[in-house]
Amino acid sequence: MAYPKDFKYTKEHEWIQVTGNTATVGITSHAQESLGDIVFIELPKVGAQLAAGKSFGTVESVKAVSELYAPASGKVTAVNDTLNQTPENVNKDAHAAWMIKLELSNPGETSGLLSADDYEKYVAEEK
């Protein structure tokens, strides 16, 4: 699985794509693969304030519940509500099925996250 080079990654398996002060967040292909069939996603409301490293929602497969952790702090500006009806889209293409968009409160924060190459290595070691 190719991890987009212009994304940053967390050790909790979220991805974040930063453009200036805004960012898009989802979970990685590795995350969807280990979860299995995703059947339920709970996301915050537009306007919610997220703190980096804190839970902002959950994703559930048939077997398991998994927390979503914010890769960066900021205000939620958009939520991908279509995932309520089609959570399986995350299985189909995790890097396209975004979950939330953020207005970053501290864009510098994301510099500590993993690059695509480092994430790929991290996942390989975890296996």
Instruction: Confirm or reject binding of residue 39 to another protein (CB under 8 A).
Output: yes
Please check whether residue 37 is in contact with residue 66, taking contact to mean a CB–CB distance below 8 angstroms. Answer: no
Span interacting with another protein, options 56-64, 71-79, 105-113, 116-124, rule CB under 8 A:
56-64
Instruction: Confirm or reject binding of residue 126 to another protein (CB under 8 A).
Output: no
Beta bridge pairs of residue 68? 57
**Residue from 11, 65, 96, 106 that binds another protein (CB under 8 A)?**
65
Please check whether residue 87 is in contact with residue 41, taking contact to mean a CB–CB distance below 8 angstroms. Answer: yes
Considering the complex, state which of residue 7 and residue 69 has its C-beta at the smaller distance from another protein.
69
**Residue from 12, 22, 44, 60 that binds another protein (CB under 8 A)?**
60
C-beta atoms surrounding 73 within 10 Å: 18
Residue 32 amino acid letter: Q
User: Least distance to another protein from the beta carbon of 36, Å?
Assistant: 5
Query: Which of 26, 19, 23, 29 lies closest to 119, judged by CA?
Result: 29
Considering the complex, state which of residue 50 and residue 113 has its C-beta at the smaller distance from another protein.
50
Round to whole Å and give the CA distance between 122 and 14: 13
- Binding residues for another protein, rule: CB under 8 A, are 33, 36-37, 39-40, 42, 58, 60-63, 65, 84
